[in-house]
Structure 1
Amino acid sequence: MNHKNSNLILAGAALSLLAMPAFAHPGHGEALGFFDGLAHPFTGLDHLLAMLGLGLWGGQQRRSLAQPATFLAMMLVGAMVGMAGLTVPGLETGIAATVALTGLAIALALSLPGWLATSLVGLFALAHGNAHGQELPSASAAAGFMLASAVLLMAGRLAGQVLAERMLRAAGVAMTAAGVVLMGMN
């Protein structure tokens, strides 16, 4: 199979994920345990793509562990704010925008100064954490979604370090398209 066909298959597979319902959003149940939090980031396409994508981008750029550490710390801050009942205006659109922007950064192999890249990752994490905190407002659920987020970030980071640049860029294009579609759905 040539690279053009591989890229088309990869993009098609990524876009087919858009058909999945976004179960990681309010209104799908009131369970608040550790395992609910652990499953949460895997069941919402926007959260899943953003966390894998941020890991991919950091791995692609060979960044230090400052980005995933910042993401996790700021996500916890955002979760605490969400648990306190405070909502970030335009939250769902903002989360979808993080998917599109992360995909664009991967597609362009964007290299920003470390402080700027880490600051952006922190802002993205605040939005994701705020949504998590509103949807699963308990300490045990927070422990679960923090662990799941760490796993997704590190899996993305590893993939970003080992995948061919052409595959990463194709994944970035697919992620950007998915983010734009998700923004339109909000």
Structure 2
Amino acid sequence: MGQRHIRHSLLFLGAMLCVSLPSAAIAHVGGHETAGFLHGFQHPLGGLDHLVAMLAVGIWAVQVEEKQGRFLLPLSFLGLMLVGGLLGMVGMNVPGIEVGIIFSDLLLGCFVFFGTRLPLLWSSLIIGALAVFHGYAHGAEMPTNAQGLQYALGFLAGTASLHLIGMGTALLALRRQQIQFFRIAGVMMVVAGLTVFAQSI
């Protein structure tokens, strides 16, 4: 019974990653259509690099020792991602965005694989720093005809949804005492990060 649940969880997680393998983002806007909440919501779902990080944050939040980390880490990510998004929207030059995003996928995948437990303050600071890179990419890639506030609320909601999916699958694995879920999920995320890196070369 437990093995079946862990297989289902991993298949679901794998399906989420595979959905984003195409390089074209589903959030692109064509013609004269105004980009609003829905386009912003779709943006984190349209790239493998973003998808890996968002799911990893949710999974790692369940792994940290302090229970409040399950709320604090996702909230730290969302808050600093919004700051990064604003920087991207105004066109501020922030170097190393793509490198930072790929690094975040690899680092978070390793954290999930090893079940890394850091003091909650350090965990929140790391998550927040990584979130700036993802937020900047969301803001910089915002279509010129977007409604800024609605688009920002959309990508925040999309990100929060992925956090919740990661947390839900991780909690299910813990409830079923399927610790190997975290090892397999971590490997999948590192492989996905390496895939994104290979495509960027």
TM bin, normalised by shorter chain, reads: 0.7 to 0.9
- Cα–Cα, structure 1 residues 119 and 36, in superposed 2: closer, same or farther, change >3 Å? same
The answer on 1:53 being equivalent to 2:56 is yes
| Aligned partner of 2:104 among 85, 98, 106 | 98
What is the aligned partner in structure 2 of residue 23 from structure 1?
25
Q: How far apart in 2 are the matches of 1:37 and 1:75?
A: 13
Specify the SS of the correspondent of 1:173: helix
The answer on 1:32 being equivalent to 2:35 is yes
Specify the SS of the correspondent of 1:89: coil
Q: Give the 4+ runs in structure 1 shifted more than 4 A.
A: 9-18
Q: CA deviation at 1:22?
A: 4.3
Q: CA deviation at 1:170?
A: 0.3
- Checking the alignment, whether the CA contact within 8 Å between 1:56 and 1:160 is kept in structure 2 is yes
Q: How far apart in 1 are the matches of 2:45 and 2:96?
A: 22
What is the aligned partner in structure 1 of residue 149 from structure 2?
139
The answer on 1:184 being equivalent to 2:198 is yes
Q: How far apart in 2 are the matches of 1:38 and 1:13?
A: 19
Q: Which residue identity is paired with 2:77?
A: F
Q: CA deviation at 1:20?
A: 2.2
Q: Indicate the percent of aligned positions where both proteins have the same amino acid.
A: 35
Specify the SS of the correspondent of 2:94: coil
TM-align CA RMSD: 2.6
* TM-score, normalised by the number of residues in structure 2: 0.79
Structure 1: which 5+ runs fail to align? none
What is the aligned partner in structure 1 of residue 184 from structure 2?
170
Q: How far apart in 1 are the matches of 2:109 and 2:193?
A: 8
